[in-house]
């Protein structure tokens, strides 16, 4: 990717924290440290520029998937925060320049693939998302996780030889009303419903998915995209730990729940007791 600042006073190799070349000399702005907090996919990161004489004029720019870069009001001449919304993974590169456009400092941050851990009485499993293949689905998922929505929901269906479905019901089972809207289906992204993959479940039209997800414990080609008339279910990640826990869930005794008309409901409820963002 080309550098937006063609004239630099100096260039230092760096990875994660300080990258400072000083300032414009004299009483101009200078940077002593540059850091980013909470730089994880789907979240808002805060980038803080620390130094001297910052009110004399600095600007921050970013290369990479961090949107809506904005300056936060500050009363300090020695510290200036900015925020942006992380919407991809991989390298983020932040540049500080002075009022003349001359380079002062640089910060490189690597955003990892998002990972989420689910804990139940039956054990825990961890999933890793693929935002490059399924950006809308992955973003919705991490936002629902951040909302705390999945805590105390059920693995409400288990299908022997196929997988589990979770994330839409609480004890009863009773429907848990989603707090976020539906989004566009991303099933035509080249990913298949293979064993160990994570998919977004839907109960209506193509663009009806909201919170329910499924984990495939076998290859399920009947869930894959075929064409617009048969769009299937979007895969957006995979289980990276605890697949044996999910396998065991599919072997429990089941029942039919008459009030909701759900089939394959675990006879003993499998409650998701904790959800945590790992990366």
Q: What is the pLDDT of residues 20-36, one digit of tens each?
A: 444 444 568 999 999 99
**What pLDDT sits at residue 7?**
33
Examine residue 17 and state whether it is found in any structural domain, yes or no: no
Examine residue 18 and state whether it is found in any structural domain, yes or no: no
**What pLDDT sits at residue 156?**
97
Same domain, 233 and 256: yes
Q: In what order do the strands lie in the sheet with 30-37?
A: 30-37, 44-52, 79-86, 66-71
- In this prediction, residue 56 has a pLDDT band, given cuts at 50, 70 and 90, of confident
DSSP 8-state secondary structure symbol assigned to residue 57: -
Same domain, 272 and 169: yes
Q: Where does a domain end: 82, 111, 140?
A: 111
**What pLDDT sits at residue 28?**
85
Same domain, 89 and 135: no
Q: What is the CATH number of the domain that holds 51?
A: 2.60.40.10
pLDDT, tens only, 254-276: 999 999 999 999 999 999 999 99
Examine residue 11 and state whether it is found in any structural domain, yes or no: no
Q: Are 41 and 23 contacting, i.e. CB atoms less than 8 angstroms apart?
A: no
Q: Where does a domain end: 94, 111, 128?
A: 111
- In this prediction, residue 15 has a pLDDT band, given cuts at 50, 70 and 90, of very low
**What pLDDT sits at residue 3?**
41
Number of domains the chain contains:
2
Q: How far is CA 11 from CA 19, 93, 96, 157, 164, in A?
A: 9, 13, 12, 56, 52
Mean pLDDT of 55-62: 92
Same domain, 268 and 218: yes
**What pLDDT sits at residue 26?**
54
Examine residue 130 and state whether it is found in any structural domain, yes or no: yes
| Spatial separation of the C-alpha atoms in residues 159 and 223, rounded to whole Å | 14
Same domain, 100 and 197: no
Examine residue 12 and state whether it is found in any structural domain, yes or no: no
Same domain, 35 and 105: yes
Cα Rg, the chain, nearest whole Å = 23
Average pLDDT across the chain, whole number: 90
The pTM for the full model equals 0.86
**What pLDDT sits at residue 204?**
86
Beta strands 169-170 and 174-175 are antiparallel
Instruction: Examine the pLDDT at 190 and tell me if it is beyond 80.
Output: yes
* Cβ contacts of 150 within 8 Å, gap of 6 or more: 118, 144, 166, 167, 211, 272, 275
* Cβ contacts of 256 within 8 Å, gap of 6 or more: 262, 263, 265
- In this prediction, residue 198 has a pLDDT band, given cuts at 50, 70 and 90, of very high
Same domain, 238 and 145: yes
By percentage, how much of the chain surpasses pLDDT 90? 85
Same domain, 89 and 142: no
Examine residue 2 and state whether it is found in any structural domain, yes or no: no
Mean pLDDT of 135-160: 97
Same domain, 75 and 211: no
Q: Where does a domain end: 62, 90, 111?
A: 111
- Show the CA angle centred on residue 278, arms to residues 272 and 279, nearest 5°: 140
- In this prediction, residue 18 has a pLDDT band, given cuts at 50, 70 and 90, of very low
Domain limits for position 36: 30-111
Instruction: Examine the pLDDT at 11 and tell me if it is beyond 90.
Output: no
| Spatial separation of the C-alpha atoms in residues 191 and 186, rounded to whole Å | 10
Q: Are 239 and 227 contacting, i.e. CB atoms less than 8 angstroms apart?
A: no
**What pLDDT sits at residue 53?**
92
């Amino acid at each position: 990717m080309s550098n937006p600042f063609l004239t630099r006073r100096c260039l230092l190799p760096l990875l994660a924290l300080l990258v400072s070349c000083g300032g414009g000399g004299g009483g101009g702005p200078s940077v002593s440290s540059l850091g980013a907090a909470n730089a994880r996919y789907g979240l808002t990161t805060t980038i803080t520029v620390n130094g001297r004489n910052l009110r004399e004029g600095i600007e921050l720019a970013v290369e990479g998937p961090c949107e809506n870069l904005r300056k936060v009001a500050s009363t300090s001449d020695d510290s200036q925060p900015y925020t942006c919304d992380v919407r991809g993974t991989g390298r983020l590169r932040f540049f500080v320049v002075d009022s003349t456009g001359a380079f002062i400092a640089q910060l490189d941050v690597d955003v990892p693939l998002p990972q989420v851990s689910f804990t139940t009485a039956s054990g825990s499993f961890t999933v890793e998302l693929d935002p490059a293949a399924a950006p809308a689905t992955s973003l919705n998922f991490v936002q629902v996780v951040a909302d705390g929505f999945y805590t105390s929901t059920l693995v409400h269906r288990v299908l022997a030889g196929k997988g589990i479905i979770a994330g839409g019901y609480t004890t009863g089972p009773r429907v848990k009303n989603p707090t976020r809207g539906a989004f566009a289906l991303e099933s035509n992204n080249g990913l298949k419903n293979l064993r160990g993959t994570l998919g977004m479940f839907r109960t209506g039209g193509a663009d009806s998915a909201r919170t329910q997800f499924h984990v495939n414990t076998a290859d399920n080609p009947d869930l894959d995209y075929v064409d617009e008339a048969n769009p299937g279910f979007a895969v957006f990640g995979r289980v990276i730990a605890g697949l044996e826990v999910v396998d065991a869930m599919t072997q429990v005794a089941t029942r039919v729940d008459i009030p909701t008309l759900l089939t394959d409901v675990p006879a003993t409820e499998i409650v998701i007791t904790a959800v945590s963002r790992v990366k």
